[in-house]
Structure 1
Amino acid sequence: MALKIFEIDSTLRGCEGQIWDRVNGYRWWKNELQEKENGMAEFAEGYKIFGFNRTKGGYVYREWLPNAKQAFLIGEFNGWQNSTPLQNEGFGRWKVDLPNKEDGSPMIPHASQLKVRVESNDGGWHDRVPAWSKLAWQDHTTNLFNGVFWEPPEEKQYVFQHARPEKPENLKIYEAHVGMGSVEPKVATYVEFADNILPRIKRMGYNCVQLMAVAEHAHYGCFGYHVTSFFAPASRSGTPEELKYLVDTAHGLGIHVLMDLVHAHASSNTLDGIAQMDGTDHCRWDPRATTASGTRRSSTT
């Protein structure tokens, strides 16, 4: 089978072998995912399996740690002690069930900080931020980040008031960085951006805002291009509920929201990122071992 690209640009003939290697590799993985994961879309929903997910009687926490000898969930809820072990499910998956307390409240209080502690097969010990954390907070005594169990009770969950606007005939996109959305020398918040900046964007005639640096990044100066927590919004600007408020406010103004997710720019941080999550330098991501979430360049809300 020929590739049209070689007809368009004949200079690529010099690296035809490398291009075909990538094309064939893509086709092979696409077929594997179709056969074993019911396609790419389902494969990309690893967040429904990993991280903290509700069960009938509480929560279950899963992490993908192929090189782990043993693992523990540690945090404020258990005094940061190795008293909550994870069980090996095989294929690199580790999990622990977290049943509710007798009064029906979660075993781990909402907004409490935690990490996963891993003993790797070489005997090394590693404290890591759970890869599917919905929020991470910086400990300013160490400048490192901890994962946060972000499961607000129903009365504290943000409830959307506005439906997504209808698809416009043409997009007029305003690119913005929430943290820079203030005339004051500080990191602006999601709420401030929603209340002060979105109305101005609307008045200027834009029908879409593209938000930069949404995913958590330990180094603010990287402009969001060294992602440390892939499923957590940048905490310097607020909480997930406050980000929802921003999106909802935009929708109420008839503005679509694009979130620029640069997952390919993973940080090399090990203490507050996912690098060397299980003590190895090749842990993320290996679809042969798990249904871990795939990543895309951008998404829309």
Structure 2
Amino acid sequence: MKTSVYNDKGLDKYLPVISKRHSLYEKKIAELTDGHKWDLSDSANAYLFYGLHKYPDKWVFREWAPHADEIFLIGDFNNWQPQADYALIPTYNGNWEIELALSALQHGMLYKLWVKWSDGAGERIPAYSRRVVQDEVSKIFSAQVWDTSNYEWKHTQPKQPSSPLIYETHIGMAGEKEGVSTYNEFRKNILPYIASMGYNTIQMMAIQEHPYYGSFGYQVANFFAPSSRFGTPEELKELIDTAHKYKISVVLDIVHSHSVRNETDGLSRFDGSFDLYFHEGERGMHPVWNSRLFNYGKNEVVSFLLSNCKYWLDEFKFDGFRFDGVTSMMYYDHGIGKNFTDYSLYYDGTQDEDAITYLTLANKLIHEVNPNAFTIAEDVSGMPGLASSIANMGIGFDYRMAMGISDYWIKLLKEKTDEEWHVGDMFYELTNKRKEEKTISYVESHDQAMVGDKTVIFRLIDSQMYTDMNVYQRNLNVDRGLSLHKMIRLVTLATAGNGYLTFMGNEFGHPEWIDFPREGNDWSYQYARRQWSLLKDQNLRYRFLAEFEKEMLRVVKKYRIFSQKPFVIVQSTVDQVLIFKRNNLVFVFNFNPTKSFTDYGFEIDKGKYKIVLDSDNTQFDGFNRIDDNYEYSTQLINKKNLLKLYIPARSAFVLHKTS
């Protein structure tokens, strides 16, 4: 019997296109490895060739700039003037090189390139710079000579988690102070908290150097430079090393979908040409992001990006990547304003097959460099095969973000009253995933926390977050908000395909949006931080949400719920009761805002059951309407094993079959 591609008969008619794309990948990998004479990872060593390198007897600097007429190193060492002694020599294939005595450069010196072309000249930061810093007064960025001994790694990298429980982080806004937090502060203050909560993966945003802090790190200029705003490369390595001590994997939120359009501190018009790394004309500019778009059809660009992946794996021991903007990469129209309602929209010729080839190569390389690494795709289009294996003609990501789930919760909270919540639709939306792919579910990421949007807790409680979150008095709206916050997160985690994500602070209902310093807010850091003191304040109710998050993570790990798919038992739209089984746990949700149910019966496996998690427990600021120590037994009624429960309004609990 013939097997359908990706086990989906609906894709059979598109098999020729899928096969063609896979053949483009096979052709490109053969080209890059000279007919498979070496591994792909051996073709991704550009970072070891280009840039500034120190040898026992000299410094060597190399750059690729085929359209340049002259290139000079300028910096602290020659008063920032182009001089013959610092002129690069053209070698081959557009490469330039200079050798300098060891005494010519010292640790900490600033430098750039002065590049001359046929009709102009300009300062440029080398494309492979590993250290870029900004002058505090002039705000100008420069490359920096970084001559330090290699960091000595102390801890082995953890095994890939079978089910990633991801804490999405931003180093700079991780502290409570109104300013930029550091790698060291994160390592000392935030990392122990993440470990204590039970997350097994950290996703780091804004690591690649970016000129504008408010871009959240998505307007990258210097792809090989860890952001110096937060500290030194060694301090980032120590952070990652310490995470590994806690058996926590660290994933880099890598940006290969576009680059900042800046010329003096980015890659745009690097050697006077507009198409060195990017497409020419309109195709080379993103219509919404106002940034430059890579030409994935050029081998030099592919080499640059693949080398970038290998660099972060080898030099910093990241355990994988979350690829940003994958939808934008895969479609000529970047998926803007497009509803992907038909399979034809994935195979109609409007896809950038060079980009798809690059993404497949990147996944091949990453797993070749570190077979234990894992990759996550951010794609809103639902491209089939994105998280299918390359051997099965897929693009090769290990996971895709289940991005429709956060959209579902926002739509529900904005458009429906509590009485209109349809648990059948809810279960469908939370479990509607491609069967052959692994997915990461989340209620909200950093996107929902940005200024102009609202987090779930803010949609639930709004301004009463500021006045009624104390433990000394009850408020009906706050009680509702906290109950639903716990239930929404639990049902999302319990129905997740293969993993779960939350953005830093959202687990305890951080009360404010994110707004980076900008002219419109007088360059304030007030909303570019996390107020951890709210979590620690015993007079406030935030701590109960964090405690519930911690306990639900403990439960899903202990009982290994991701080893099986959720199986629905009850989805009563009238009662607003949702009950489903997963592995050896039974999840019970009553979204009814006013009605509790006594002796609510449903058929289940014969045995005894005990509650292992209860959102209504006073430990989580609930009302303790259930005896969590009671052991429930099935009853044989009309030849059916029924379990009868008391299910309080607006609550959820989890049962474990004990016998």
TM-score normalized with structure 2 length:
0.41
Contact 1:92/1:289 (<8 A) preserved:
no
2:115 aligned residue: 118
In the TM superposition, 1:23-62 aligns within 5 A as 23-35=22-34, 38-62=38-62
* Cα separation, 1, equivalents of 2:258 and 2:302: 21
Question: Matched residue of 1:28: which SS?
Answer: helix
Q: Distance in 1 between matches of 2:144 and 2:275?
A: 25
Q: In the comparison of the two structures, how many residue pairs are matched?
A: 289
Q: How does 1:109-188 map to 2 (within 5 A)?
A: 109-120=106-117, 122-152=118-148, 154=149, 157-188=150-181
* Structure with greater helix percent: 2
Deviation at 1:69, TM superposition (A): 0.6
For 1:32 and 1:227, how far apart are their aligned partners in 2?
Answer: 29
**SS of the residue 1:48 aligns to:** helix
Distance 2:164 2:33 in 1: 33
**Paired position in structure 2 for 1:104:** none
Alignment partner of 1:200: what SS?
helix
Task: Tell whether the 8 Å contact from 2:112 to 2:125 is kept in structure 1 after alignment.
Answer: yes
CA contact (8 A) 1:30 1:39 kept: no
Task: Name the aligned partner's letter for residue 159 of structure 1.
Answer: E
Output the amino acid matched with 2:121. W
Offset at residue 95 of structure 1 (A): 0.6
Deviation sequence 1:156-209 (CA, Å, 0-9, x none): x54333232344444322111111101222111000000000000011012221
Measure how far apart 1:253 and its partner are: 2.2
2:87 maps to a residue whose letter is P
In the aligned structure 2, how far is the partner of 1:275 from the partner of 1:12? Answer: 41
Any conservation in 1 of the 2:256–2:305 contact (CA below 8 Å)? no
**How far apart, in 1, do the equivalents of 2:162 and 2:11 lie?**
37
Give the whole-Å Cα distance in 2 for the aligned partners of 1:234 and 1:273: 14
Deviations 1:115-170 (A, max 9, x none): 011111x2311210011111111124443311111122x3xx54333232344444
Which protein is richer in strand relative to its size?
1
Unpaired stretches in structure 2, ≥5 consecutive residues: 278-294, 320-659
2:473 matched residue in structure 1: none
**CA gap 1:290/1:196 in 2 versus in 1, 3 angstroms:** closer
Q: SS in structure 2 opposite 1:35?
A: coil
- 1:277 matched to 2:274? The reply is no
Asked whether the equivalents of residues 45 and 293 of structure 1 are also in contact (C-alpha less than 8 Å), the reply is: no
Quick check: 172-181 or 20-29, which moved more?
A: 20-29
Q: Pairwise mapping of residues 214-233 of structure 1 onto structure 2 (< 5 A)?
A: 214-233=207-226
Which whole-Å CA distance do the structure 1 matches of 2:269 and 2:16 have between them?
Answer: 34
Query: Alpha carbons of 1:198 and 1:128: their partners in 2 closer, same or farther (altered >3 Å)?
Result: same
What whole-Å deviation, never above 9, does each CA across 1:79-126 have from its counterpart, x for those lacking one?
Answer: 11212010101101001012213xxxxx21111111011111x23112
- For 1:6 and 1:167, the matched residues in 2 are separated by 26
CA distance in 1, matches of 2:138, 2:20: 45
In structure 2, what residue type is equivalent to 1:147? A
In the alignment, is the contact (CA less than 8 A) between 1:47 and 1:293 conserved in 2? no
* CA distance 1:194–1:71, change in 2 (3 Å): same
Looking at structure 2, the residues matched to 91 and 257 of structure 1 have their Cα atoms a distance apart, in angstroms, of 37
Task: Give me the whole-angstrom Cα distance separating, in 1, the residues matched to 2:163 and 2:219.
Answer: 32
Q: Distance in 1 between matches of 2:204 and 2:215?
A: 15
1:199-218 to structure 2, matched below 5 A, reads 199-218=192-211
**Structure 1 ranges of 4+ moved more than 6 A:** none
The answer to whether structure 1 residue 287 and structure 2 residue 299 are counterparts is yes
Distance of 2:159 and 2:30 partners within structure 1: 35
Q: Report the CA distance shift for 1:165/1:280 in structure 2 as closer, same or farther (over 3 A).
A: same
Letter in 1 for 2:47: Y
Moved more, 20-29 or 233-242: 20-29
> What is the alpha-carbon distance in structure 2 between the residues aligned to residue 178 and residue 240 of structure 1?
13
Q: More displaced, 25-34 or 160-169?
A: 160-169
SS of aligned partner of 1:90: coil
Find the residue that maps to 2:191 and give its secondary structure.
helix
User: Which of the numbers 99, 102, 117 marks the counterpart of 1:100?
Assistant: 102
- Structure 2 residue aligned with 1:72: 72
Is the partner of 2:158 in helix, strand or coil?
coil
| Percentage of identical aligned residues | 35
Q: Give the structure with higher Rg (CA).
A: 2
Q: What CA deviation, in whole Å up to 9, does each residue of 1:219-268 have, x standing for no partner?
A: 11111111100000111111111111211221222222111111222111
Residue 4 of structure 1 corresponds to which residue in structure 2?
Answer: 5
Once the two structures are overlaid, the 10-residue window that deviates more, 22-31 or 87-96, is: 22-31
CA contact 2:74–2:81 (8 Å) conserved in 1: yes
Which residue of structure 2 aligns with residue 88 of structure 1? 90
Inter-CA distance 76–43: structure 2 relative to 1 (3 Å threshold) = same
Amino acid at match of 1:89: T
User: What SS does the corresponding residue of 2:61 show, helix, strand or coil?
Assistant: strand
State the distance in 1 between where 2:44 and 2:146 align: 22
For residue 127 of structure 1, give the secondary structure of its aligned residue in structure 2. strand
TM-score (norm 1): 0.85
Which residue is 1:240 aligned to? Answer: 233
Q: 1:147 to 1:40 in 2, by over 3 A?
A: same
Distance 2:304 2:140 in 1: 25
| Root-mean-square deviation (Å) | 2.9
